[in-house]
Copies of this chain bind each other. A is one copy, B any other.
Amino acid sequence: MPLVRKLGAFVALSGAEIDVLEGLRKRRRTFVAGRDLVHQGQSDQVAYILMSGWACSYKDLVDGQRQIVDFQVPGDFLGLRSVLLHISDHSIEPVTDIEVTEILKADLLEAFAQTPRLALAIFWAVSRDEAMVVEHLVGIGRRNAAERLAHFLLELGARLALIGQGSKAGFDYPLTQYLLADALGLSAVHVNRVLRHLREADLLTFRDGHVRFIDYDGLTDFADFDPSYLDQVGPLLT
């Protein structure tokens, strides 16, 4: 299970703790691509763990624009923040068909009371998510389009590497350039142009559902990518 793998990067979980996580298998559900699981303004107090597929969390603006806050990959929580806040401040949309397991507020209380170490591990995961949002903020606020895009793809690569789905060579993605634009605060037109620049600079390619890092070190340098905020020790094996 990808979550166990991810949390394992932070603390060695005991058998009992892993059992708690594995016990969640029972509440498995699936959702189809494109139809929101959580909608802005809803007050369900339910979160999910993503088991397979990709999702994204985003906010809509009145004028019809939207900002994608982050993509979620297997092992990530969906909507954990809205369990504590009374109203969900964002929407979540599956990018692909996805499988999830449900977490209720009661589960969280249970985890806090019974297995403080597991609670701490969840707290770590939440902190890491927040660190990623902060990094996106910095990217949108201060990096130009090319650096921002490169940085974003490097981050995704590192995150996927942690669950065994990416490496320094690249990774498979289910994203469109429109999704990327919504995440990066750019127009789809400009995303396309920037991808061409990166390709022409022999840094990476982005096509047919696969990112290939051609010059990983050059790219890291270009994007000023310092993965320490991801808190992964040896993030990229290959």
Binding site for B on A (CB under 8 A): 41, 59, 61-62, 65-67, 69, 80-81, 84-87, 89-90, 108-109, 112-113, 116, 119-120, 123-124, 126-131, 133-138, 140-143, 184-185, 224, 228-229, 231
Could you tell me the distance in whole angstroms from the C-beta of A182 to the nearest C-beta in chain B? 9
Chain B neighbourhood of A136, CB < 8 A:
137
Q: Smallest CB-CB separation from A90: which chain B residue?
A: B134
Chain B neighbourhood of A86, CB < 8 A:
231
Chain B neighbourhood of A41, CB < 8 A:
228
A-B contact pairs, 25 of them (CB 8 A): A41-B228, A61-B142, A61-B143, A62-B224, A67-B142, A80-B127, A84-B127, A89-B131, A89-B135, A89-B228, A89-B229, A90-B134, A108-B120, A112-B116, A113-B116, A123-B123, A126-B127, A126-B130, A129-B130, A130-B130, A130-B133, A136-B137, A140-B185, A141-B184, A142-B185
How far apart sit A131 and B137, CA to CA, in the bound complex (Å)? 13
Are A61 and B138 neighbours in the complex by a CB distance under 8 Å?
yes
How far apart sit A61 and B136, CA to CA, in the bound complex (Å)? 13
Q: Smallest CB-CB separation from A143: which chain B residue?
A: B61
Chain B neighbourhood of A142, CB < 8 A:
61, 65-67, 185
How far apart sit A67 and B139, CA to CA, in the bound complex (Å)? 9
Copies in the complex: 2
Q: Smallest CB-CB separation from A125: which chain B residue?
A: B84
Chain B neighbourhood of A67, CB < 8 A:
137-138, 141-142
How far apart sit A136 and B67, CA to CA, in the bound complex (Å)? 11
How far apart sit A78 and B67, CA to CA, in the bound complex (Å)? 27
Chain B neighbourhood of A133, CB < 8 A:
130, 133-134, 137
- Given that A140-B140, A185-B142 are contacting pairs, would A120 and B84 also be in contact in the complex, using a CB cutoff of 8 Å? yes
Could you tell me the distance in whole angstroms from the C-beta of A23 to the nearest C-beta in chain B? 20
Are B124 and A120 neighbours in the complex by a CB distance under 8 Å?
no
Q: Smallest CB-CB separation from A68: which chain B residue?
A: B141
Are A85 and B126 neighbours in the complex by a CB distance under 8 Å?
no
Most buried by B among A80, A131, A137: A137
How far apart sit A81 and B126, CA to CA, in the bound complex (Å)? 9
Are A109 and B113 neighbours in the complex by a CB distance under 8 Å?
no
Are A69 and B109 neighbours in the complex by a CB distance under 8 Å?
no
Chain B neighbourhood of A124, CB < 8 A:
84-85
